[in-house]
Amino acid sequence: MRRILLLISAVLLGLGTVFAPGAFAGSPHFVSVDAQRSGNSLTISGKEAGLGNETQVDIQVSATANCINPGGHGPKAANKQSVSNEGTFPVQNGKAVFTLTVTASFQPECSPPMTVTFTNVVVADVEHGVVAKVPGTF
């Protein structure tokens, strides 16, 4: 009886080893995300890790662009817009480095003395359900 229980335990352990790798393939998460504004564009750079043996990852970026007047007053509906971009990036050793740029284009133009700022910046790896909100105004 004891031998049968040992045999069953060994078989179950072996099956667990065969089927477990998918469960432990990775734990995707953003290691770093940085945003830099230049004129009417915002460049978001970062690194995602815990991607296991995947070959590529799709990253999406979204933000709200605002045209701010010299008095620092926020936009009305006409001078605020949502901007977004997405890209596919290679994964090496379970990590992916990415850079995406979003650009605002207002009609009429947001020209000096008005300035463009970006808020509500969100970076997402939708496939893995990983989201990072970048705090601040850029």
Percent of the chain with pLDDT over 90: 57
Q: Which helix (H) or strand (E) holds 101?
A: strand 96-103
Return the number of other C-beta atoms located less than 10 Å from residue 51's C-beta.
Answer: 23
**For residue 80, is pLDDT > 60?**
yes
Domains of the chain: 26-134 (2.60.40)
Task: Tell me the three state secondary structure of residue 79.
Answer: helix
Count of residues in the chain: 138
**For residue 50, is pLDDT > 90?**
yes
Residue 64: exposure state from Cβ atoms within 10 A (0-12, 13-18, ≥19): middle
Q: What is the pTM of this model?
A: 0.76
